Amino acid sequence: MEFYERLVLAIERAKENNYIDNLADLSRRVNAPAPSSIDSIIKEKRKSSKYSSALARELKVRLEWLADGIEPMEKIHQGSMLFYENLDELPKIDDMITVDFPSDFGMAAGNGVNNSEFQNIRSMPFYLGTLKKGEVRDPSKVIVGRIKGPSNEMLIPNGAAVGIDLGYTDVVNEELYLITIDGEERLKQVITKDDGIILRSLNINKTEFPDENLDSKEILSRGLVIRGRLWWVSWVNPIGHIKKLLTK
């Protein structure tokens, strides 16, 4: 397999994983002089390129594989972590955005949490490709908060960080949403019905966390507002959490 053939293979893989949008995008990322530069490498069936190092970085493959065909193709993976062999292989900052993560912003699925004006705002980096896979509509309207309580523990344990897309407020049946109700923030599964909605906590203990059936009048009287859709969850010690659920 020649260089240009490996390049085609790497580009197809990168598109599937949302690392790049198209060849013009890739040309821009490697600082090539024209949008058609990478396309020319392929059409002319070149056996090498001065952009090899930058191409390997942007396509997330090993330079040795792209330039010389030395296996393996991909970088070394351990579990779900991606390790880079050289600092210059790290993704450019253009591929990432930072999302507000107020340390004093929490949400619950049980009785709710009353959030005041945020005081301590940190930032969390995300790849734009990750937001795209999460079907985020507007990256500028994403916020990260922390779950307080066990009310959604079948999916999200106490203390987990969650990403909310504040630009996604139309209801899709059975999706999870950050809502405001009775003046408090909650994370609930929203189930639609003809005369209203059902708010559900993902917990097998329905005595402590029962469904809330709301008709149109209750929706108005309790001030229900759909704030945004859950698109991302992150938590530590998953095995410990699963063992805890299994012993209940």
pLDDT at residue number 215: 94
Say if residues 7 and 44 touch (Cβ distance below 8 Å): no
pLDDT at residue number 110: 56
pLDDT at residue number 153: 85
Q: For residues 74 and 4, what is the distance between their CA atoms, to the nearest angstrom? A: 17
Residues 1-26, mean pLDDT to the nearest whole number: 92
Alpha-carbon distances of 243 from 94, 150, 192, 238, rounded to whole Å: 40, 15, 32, 9
Say if residues 88 and 60 touch (Cβ distance below 8 Å): no
Compare 88 and 240 and report the one with higher pLDDT: 240
Using pLDDT thresholds of 50, 70 and 90, give the confidence band for residue 190: very high
pTM: 0.58
Compare 79 and 39 and report the one with higher pLDDT: 39
Q: Where are the alpha helices (DSSP H) in the chain?
A: 3-16, 23-29, 37-43, 52-59, 63-68, 128-133, 216-221, 238-246
The CATH architecture annotation of domain 3-91 reads: Orthogonal Bundle (1.10)
Q: What is the pLDDT of residues 14-65, one digit of tens each?
A: 998 888 989 999 999 999 999 899 999 999 999 999 999 999 999 989 899 9
Q: For residues 224 and 81, what is the distance between their CA atoms, to the nearest angstrom? A: 40
> What residue spans in the chain does CATH classification 2.10.109.10 cover?
94-246
pLDDT at residue number 124: 77
pLDDT at residue number 185: 87
Buried b (16+ CB within 10 A) or exposed e, 176-202: bbbbbbeeebbbbbbbeeeebbebbbb
> CATH number of the domain at 94-246, out of 2.30.30.100, 3.30.300.30, 2.10.109.10, 3.40.50.970?
2.10.109.10
Q: For residues 207 and 17, what is the distance between their CA atoms, to the nearest angstrom? A: 43
Using pLDDT thresholds of 50, 70 and 90, give the confidence band for residue 152: confident
Q: For residues 97 and 147, what is the distance between their CA atoms, to the nearest angstrom? A: 22
Looking at every residue in the chain, the average pLDDT score rounds to 83
Q: For residues 154 and 169, what is the distance between their CA atoms, to the nearest angstrom? A: 24
Compare 107 and 7 and report the one with higher pLDDT: 7
> What residue spans in the chain does CATH classification 1.10.260.40 cover?
3-91
Q: Which residue has the tokens 């709301």?
A: 214
Residues 195-213, mean pLDDT to the nearest whole number: 91
pLDDT tops 50 at residue 119: no
Say if residues 221 and 200 touch (Cβ distance below 8 Å): no
Q: For residues 57 and 59, what is the distance between their CA atoms, to the nearest angstrom? A: 6
